[in-house]
C-alpha cells in the first residue's frame, strides 16, 4: 500500500472535499453544490442536469441534496474514475468473453456498456429494461471505467495491438494469488457515493453483457462517505492508518507523464489512457490490532493520529529519512512502509492510488476477511507498480500483516469522444 498523497481536486478522497476546480453554479451555494466533503472537479451544479428520474414529466423537478447532484462526465480526454474523488461505494468486476465471441461481439458489448455508462452517469435510466433500483437518486458521482486484460487480445485476434506494458506482472514473494479471482478479458470499475446507485450500475453492466461475456470475478468495496468528517481529510484504511498521503497531484508538472499514456505513444489506441493494477490485499487485522500504537506507527513510519511522518511536522511535511533519536536510532525505521514506498527511494517510481476497503464477512475460525481493494494507475506499470512492489518484497515491515490474494493488470484506453464508445479505436481501427 504505497504512501502517496491525494490531489486537492478531482482526486481520491482526501481532497475530494477540497475541490476548488469547479466554481459554484449560479443559484447554488458552494456548500450546497459540493456538500461538506465536495466531490470532484467534474460536477454539474444545476438541479436540472442531475435530478434523477423519479418525477413524472409533468411534475416540477425538486432539487436533490448536493450528494445526489454531483456528476462526473462520461465523455472526455480520459475515462472517468481515475482522477475523480474516492467514492463511498465501489464494485470491481472482471468478465471473460463467452466461447465463440470475438472482436465483433466485443465491439458491440463496449458500445452497449458505453451508452449505459453515459446514461447512468447523467442520472438517467439505463435503458428500456431499467431495474429502477436508483429511480429516486441522482448521479451521486457515479463513474464507470473500462479496461482490457492481457487475454482479451488473443480472444479477439488483436495480438498485434496488445501493448508490451500489459505483459503479465512478475511474481512477488508476498503473493498468495487465487487465479480464479485474478486477471480477466475485460475489467469494469464502478464507483458512486450512493450504494444503490453503484449497485444499479453493476446490475446494468452485468445485464448488458448478455451472451457475449460472463463474470469471472467481482469484488465490493467502500470508503468514508463524503461529509462524514468535520473537515476534508485523507482516508483511513481498515488498519486505522491515514492512507493516501503523497499521491501524485494533477497540478504537478509531471502528473500526466506519470499517470497517462502520451498522445503519440504506441499502440495509438492507448493514447491518453492508463494502466490499472488491481490487487485484493487482505489485512491480518487480528495480528495487527495486537500491536501497540507505537509499534503500528513504527511499521508504517507515520503517526496514527494525524498521518504525520515520525520525523515530525504535519501529514504533508516532507519525511526526514536521516533524523535520529537520542540513542542514534533512525526515527523512521529502515523497514517502515512509508520510507520504502517513497518515490525518491524508488527511482522516481510513482502511481496514483485509488483504492476501496472491503469486508467480506468472518471466516469459520472467526477471522475477518477484510482489507484493501488496491487500485493504482500509471502510464507504465513496469515503471510504476513493479519497482515499488519489488522493493516492498525485500523487507517491508507491513508485509507480515497483509496478504496479496488476487491480482490483475488492465489497459484502460483514453476517454470516448461524443458519439464514440470506449475502445473504439482498438476494435474498429
CA distance 288 to 371: 12
Q: How many domains does the chain have?
A: 1
Residues marked as catalytic: 243
- Residue 205 DSSP symbol: H
**All 3 cell numbers of residue 235?**
482516508
Q: Is 300 inside a domain boundary?
A: yes
**pLDDT higher than threshold 80 for residue 148:** yes
Residues 6+ apart with CB under 8 A from 151: 96, 183, 184, 185
Question: For the ranges 67-71, 94-98, 202-206, 342-346, which has the lowest average pLDDT?
Answer: 342-346
pLDDT in tens, 94-124: 999 999 999 999 999 999 999 999 999 999 9
Q: What is the pLDDT of residue 6?
A: 39
CA distance 201 to 31: 27
For strands 402-412 and 368-378, give the pairing: unpaired
pLDDT in tens, 342-379: 877 777 788 999 999 999 999 999 999 999 999 999 99
CA distance 273 to 187: 14
Q: Is 5 inside a domain boundary?
A: no
CA distance 167 to 381: 9
Quickly list DSSP for 7-49: PSSSSSHHHHTT--SSPPPTTS-HHHHHTTT---S-----GGG
pTM of full prediction above 0.75: yes
Q: Is 4 inside a domain boundary?
A: no
CA distance 371 to 91: 15
Angle formed by the axes of helices 195-209 and 103-121, to 10°?
A: 160
**pLDDT higher than threshold 80 for residue 48:** no
Q: Is 6 inside a domain boundary?
A: no
CA distance 191 to 197: 9
- Residue 242 DSSP symbol: B
Q: Is 53 inside a domain boundary?
A: yes
Q: Is 1 inside a domain boundary?
A: no
- Residue 190 DSSP symbol: E
- The average pLDDT across 336-347 equals 86
Closest of 259, 221, 237, 244 to residue 15, by C-alpha: 244
Q: Is 289 inside a domain boundary?
A: yes
Contact by Cβ (8 Å): 259, 82: yes
**All 3 cell numbers of residue 52?**
434523477
More confident residue, 303 or 17: 303
Q: Is 2 inside a domain boundary?
A: no
Q: What is the pLDDT of residue 3?
A: 53
**pLDDT higher than threshold 50 for residue 280:** yes
Specify which residues 281 forms β-bridges with: 372, 404
Domain carrying residue 159: 13-427
CA distance 86 to 96: 27
Amino acid at each position: 500500500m504505497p504512501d502517496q498523497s491525494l490531489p486537492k481536486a478531482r482526486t481520491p478522497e482526501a481532497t475530494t472535499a477540497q475541490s476548488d476546480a469547479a466554481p459554484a453554479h449560479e443559484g447554488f451555494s458552494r456548500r450546497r453544490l459540493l456538500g461538506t466533503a465536495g466531490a470532484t472537479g467534474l460536477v454539474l451544479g444545476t438541479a436540472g442536469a442531475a435530478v434523477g428520474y423519479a418525477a413524472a414529466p409533468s411534475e416540477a423537478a425538486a432539487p436533490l441534496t448536493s450528494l445526489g447532484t454531483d456528476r462526473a462526465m462520461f465523455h472526455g480526454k480520459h475515462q472517468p474514475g481515475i482522477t475523480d474523488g474516492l467514492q463511498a461505494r465501489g464494485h470491481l468486476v472482471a468478465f471473460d468473453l463467452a466461447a465463440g465471441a470475438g472482436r465483433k461481439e466485443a465491439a458491440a458489448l463496449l458500445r452497449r456498456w458505453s451508452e449505459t455508462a453515459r446514461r447512468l452517469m447523467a442520472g438517467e435510466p439505463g435503458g428500456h429494461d431499467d431495474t429502477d433500483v436508483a429511480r429516486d437518486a441522482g448521479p451521486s458521482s457515479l463513474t464507470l471505467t473500462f479496461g482490457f486484460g492481457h487475454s482479451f487480445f488473443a480472444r479477439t485476434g488483436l495480438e498485434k495491438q496488445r501493448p508490451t506494458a500489459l505483459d503479465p506482472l512478475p511474481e512477488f514473494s508476498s503473493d498468495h494469488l487465487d487465479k480464479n479471482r485474478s486477471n480477466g478479458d475485460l475489467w469494469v470499475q464502478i464507483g458512486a457515493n450512493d450504494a444503490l446507485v453503484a449497485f444499479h450500475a453493476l446490475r446494468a453492466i452485468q445485464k448488458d453483457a448478455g451472451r457475449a461475456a460472463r463474470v469471472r470475478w467481482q469484488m465490493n468495496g467502500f470508503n468514508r462517505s463524503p461529509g462524514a468528517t468535520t473537515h476534508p481529510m485523507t482516508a483511513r484504511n481498515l488498519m486505522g492508518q491515514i492512507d493516501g498521503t503523497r499521491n501524485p497531484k494533477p497540478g504537478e508538472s509531471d502528473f500526466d507523464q506519470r499517470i497517462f499514456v502520451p498522445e503519440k505513444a504506441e499502440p495509438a489506441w492507448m493514447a491518453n489512457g492508463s494502466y490499472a493494477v488491481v490487487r485484493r490485499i487482505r489485512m491480518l487485522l487480528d495480528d495487527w490490532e495486537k500491536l501497540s500504537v507505537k509499534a503500528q506507527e513504527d511499521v508504517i513510519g507515520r503517526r496514527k493520529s494525524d498521518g504525520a511522518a515520525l520525523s515530525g511536522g504535519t501529514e504533508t511535511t516532507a519525511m526526514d529519512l536521516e533524523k535520529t533519536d537520542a540513542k542514534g536510532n533512525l526515527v523512521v525505521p529502515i523497514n517502515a512502509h512509508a520510507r520504502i514506498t517513497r518515490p525518491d527511494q524508488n527511482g522516481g517510481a510513482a502511481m496514483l492510488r485509488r483504492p476501496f476497503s472491503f469486508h467480506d464477512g468472518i471466516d469459520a475460525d472467526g477471522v475477518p476477511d477484510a482489507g484493501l481493494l488496491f487500485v493504482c494507475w500509471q502510464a507504465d506499470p513496469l515503471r510504476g507498480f513493479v519497482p515499488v512492489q519489488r522493493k516492498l518484497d525485500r523487507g517491508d515491515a507491513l508485509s507480515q500483516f497483509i496478504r496479496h490474494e488476487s491480482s490483475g493488470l488492465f489497459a484502460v484506453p483514453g476517454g470516448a469522444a461524443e458519439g464514440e464508445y470506449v475502445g473504439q479505436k482498438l476494435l474498429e481501427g
